[in-house]
A and B are shown apart, each in its own frame.
Chain A
Amino acid sequence: AQTVTQSQPEMSVQEAETVTLSCTYDTSENNYYLFWYKQPPSRQMILVIRQEAYKQQNATENRFSVNFQKAAKSFSLKISDSQLGDTAMYFCAFTMNNAGNMLTFGGGTRLMVKP
Chain B
Amino acid sequence: GAGVSQSPRYKVAKRGQDVALRCDPISGHVSLFWYQQALGQGPEFLTYFQNEAQLDKSGLPSDRFFAERPEGSVSTLKIQRTQQEDSAVYLCASSFAGRQLGNEQFFGPGTRLTVL
Using a CB–CB cutoff of 8 Å, the interface residues on chain A facing chain B are: 4, 6, 31-33, 37, 42-47, 50, 52, 91, 93, 95-108
Contact = CB atoms under 8 A, between A and B. Distances in A.
Contacts of B41: 107-108
Given A31-B101, A95-B102, A44 B109 contact: yes
Contacts of A42: 109
B15 to A, nearest CB: 24
Given A99-B48, A101-B31, A108 B42 contact: yes
A101 B43 contact: no
Contacts of B31: 100-101
B44 A105 contact: yes
10 contacts: A4-B42, A33-B101, A43-B109, A45-B43, A97-B99, A100-B33, A101-B95, A101-B101, A101-B102, A103-B93
Main secondary structure of the interface of B (DSSP, over half): loop
A52 B102 contact: yes
A97 B108 contact: no
Contacts of B89: 43
Interface size class of B (residues with CB under 8 A): 20 to 34
B56 A102 contact: yes
Contact of B42 (A46, A102, A106): A106
A105 to B, nearest CB: 3
A106 B44 CA distance: 9
B107 A44 contact: yes
B101 A97 contact: yes
Contact of A50 (B33, B35, B58, B104): B104
A103 B109 contact: no
B110 interface: yes
Nearest to B31: A100
B107 A101 contact: no
Contact of A103 (B3, B55, B105): B105
B103 A101 contact: yes
